Amino acid sequence: MAESTVWPKGYRCAVVLTVDYNDIHGILTQAPEVAGRDKTLSVWRYGTQRGVERLLALLSELGVSSSWFVPGLVAEENPEHLRSIQAGGHEIACAGYRHQNYDTLDLATQSADIAQGCAALAALTGQRPTGFRIPAGNGAPGFIEALKDQGIRWSSSWRGDDLPFAHPTAPQVIELPLHYELEDEPYFAFNLSPAVPPAQSRIASYSHTLGNLQMDFAGFHRFGLCYVLRLHPEIIATPGRIGVLRELLEGILQHDDVWIATGAEVAQWWAESAAPVTEDHPASVYERHYRDYLL
């Protein structure tokens, strides 16, 4: 089925570049014990101090668009970066207001966080975001409907597929699924004390990581899928790693049958063109059984 997927204008596959811009708030959610430890926090501040500008410069040089997920609080603390992202022609999507673990929040609190984050971004950009990514954790039952009620039309939080899909309980919301192997964090996230990640893995080989990402693109391209890359300014935009991204994107750009688009563009096309999800799709199974389990 995947080989026969028809993207617009005869494109063979879609590529969506997404960026999680969390400043220090992401690590404070993951490891709250680092609060007040400036040396450790400086690892994540790097994204704000150097990474955002270097990443935007590369995207501008290559002429590619992207979608940035920004918590409202980060936007308020870094309005000049938000303006630079917007001026570069990139989409600004929501990641709530505070970078929080949604597993600890009930549906009402999750909905309030989404609303506050969207309002903060709209106040700074003049446009209400239509995309969303859960900063951490999972949405409560009814979460997708809450996204729809806040004007969100696409999400990139779930996994379980390599093509977009419409959520069965709110088909107005299109999901652009993620894959761990298409993220920079599993390869490169590292801090010595405290250990982040807790297993204290070493930093991966740059050449091997590039090879992995290139092989995954080759597979997604072959089967006509949606290649969603998840990046972080503090991770991918160091002087060395930005070269990994450059080489990856330059290779992708050599294909004239690849649609590089924002999440909003891909989601809009999918909403207008694709069939509803089937009853055996993971999203359908989840909605049928998870809600029953909680009753």
Which tens digit of pLDDT belongs to each residue from 204-221? Answer: 999 999 999 999 999 999
Q: How far apart are CA 246 and CA 253, in angstroms?
A: 10
Domain ranges of the chain: 2-294
For 49, the 3-state DSSP assignment is helix
Q: What is the pLDDT of residue 291?
A: 59
- Contact call for residues 177 and 161 (beta carbons, < 8 A): yes
287-295 long-range Cβ contacts below 8 angstroms, 24+ apart: 287/167, 287/168, 287/169, 290/141, 291/141, 294/141
> Could you read off the pLDDT of 167-200 as tens digits, one per residue?
988 999 999 999 999 999 999 988 767 777 777 7
Would you state the pLDDT for residue 183?
A: 96
List, for residues 98-135, the tens digit of each pLDDT value. Answer: 988 999 999 999 999 999 999 999 999 999 999 999 99
4 or 237, greater pLDDT: 237
- Amino acid identity of 67? S
Buried b / exposed e along 28-57 (16+ C-beta atoms within 10 A): bbbbeebeeeeebbebbbbbbeebbebbbe
Q: Are 209 and 236 in contact (CB under 8 A)?
A: no
CATH number of 2-294: 3.20.20.370
Report the mean per-residue pLDDT for the chain: 90
pTM: 0.90
Q: Between 276 and 144, whose confidence is greater?
A: 144
Q: Is the pLDDT of residue 282 over 90?
A: no
